[in-house]
């Protein structure tokens, strides 16, 4: 089947078996390696992408569901000002971005900030429960996300940091 979708802002299509996983399409057909093949059961967060506006496990999304959708990978997101805001907020609060969970933490922060301009700390911690992270102390996450939100607000309002 032909799977047509929006990938990192571009209209793309690929021939695929209906049950082939999105993670395999991204890595095999588009050479996008930011989403990792982790547990392949949707638990670890290594294969995180933004799928139709929500953080999703690419290993759990079959090709037939991808047709007509929008997918943003860490590679695409890294080209935006919003990415810079998140990375700066993380850096200021010692949130590490290892090769296993870094992309998921960044993309999750983006989905949180897209939903609420300044999410409450408890909501931030609860959201991060979906990512298996051993490189960052969880108590650093709310401050980092809130810092990223404040950086974004200042940038959008035209004020210097």
Token digits of residue 36 = 């990792």
Q: Tell me the pTM.
A: 0.91
- The pLDDT of residue 137 is 66
pLDDT in tens, 107-152: 999 999 999 998 999 999 888 887 777 776 677 889 999 999 999 9
Q: What pLDDT does residue 44 have?
A: 82
Backbone angles phi, psi at 49, to 5 degrees: -140, 165
- Nearest in space to 60 (alpha carbons), one of 133, 135, 130: 130
CB atoms under 10 Å from CB of 13, counted, come to 12
Spans of all domains in the chain:
2-73, 81-157
Write a three-state SS string for 39-63: CCCCCCCCCEEEECCEEEEHHHCEH
Domains 2-73 and 81-157 share a fold: no
106: left (phi over 0), alpha (psi -120 to 50) or beta: alpha
Query: For domain 81-157, which CATH number applies: 3.40.50.720, 3.40.50.1860, 1.10.150.120, 1.10.10.60?
Result: 1.10.150.120
Handedness of CA 132, 109, 114, 124 (dihedral sign): positive
Coil vs helix vs strand at 29: helix
How is domain 2-73 classified at the CATH fold level?
Ubiquitin-like (UB roll) (3.10.20)
CA atoms of 29 and 32, how far apart (whole Å): 8
Q: Which residues neighbour 79 within 8 Å (Cβ) at sequence distance 6 or greater?
A: 8
What string of pLDDT tens digits covers the 161 residues of the chain?
A: 999 999 999 999 999 999 999 999 999 999 999 999 988 888 888 899 999 999 999 999 999 999 999 999 999 999 999 999 999 999 999 888 777 788 999 999 999 999 999 899 999 988 888 777 777 667 788 999 999 999 999 998 886 54
Q: Which residues contact 147 (CB under 8 A, 6 or more apart)?
A: 88, 89, 92, 93
């Amino acid at each position: 089947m032909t799977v047509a979708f929006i990938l990192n802002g571009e209209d793309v299509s690929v021939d695929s078996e209906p049950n082939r996983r999105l993670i395999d399409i991204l890595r095999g057909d588009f050479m996008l390696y930011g989403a990792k093949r982790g547990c392949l059961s949707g638990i670890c967060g290594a294969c995180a992408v933004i799928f139709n506006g929500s953080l999703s496990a690419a290993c759990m999304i079959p090709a037939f569901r991808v047709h007509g959708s929008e997918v943003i990978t860490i590679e695409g997101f890294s080209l935006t000002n919003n990415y810079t805001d998140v990375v700066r907020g993380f850096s200021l609060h010692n949130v590490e971005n290892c090769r296993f969970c870094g992309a998921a933490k960044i993309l999750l922060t983006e989905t949180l900030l897209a939903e609420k301009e300044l999410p409450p700390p408890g909501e931030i911690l609860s959201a991060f429960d979906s990512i298996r992270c051993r490189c960052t102390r969880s108590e650093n996450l709310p401050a980092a996300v809130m810092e990223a939100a404040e950086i974004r607000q200042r940038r959008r309002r035209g004020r210097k940091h």
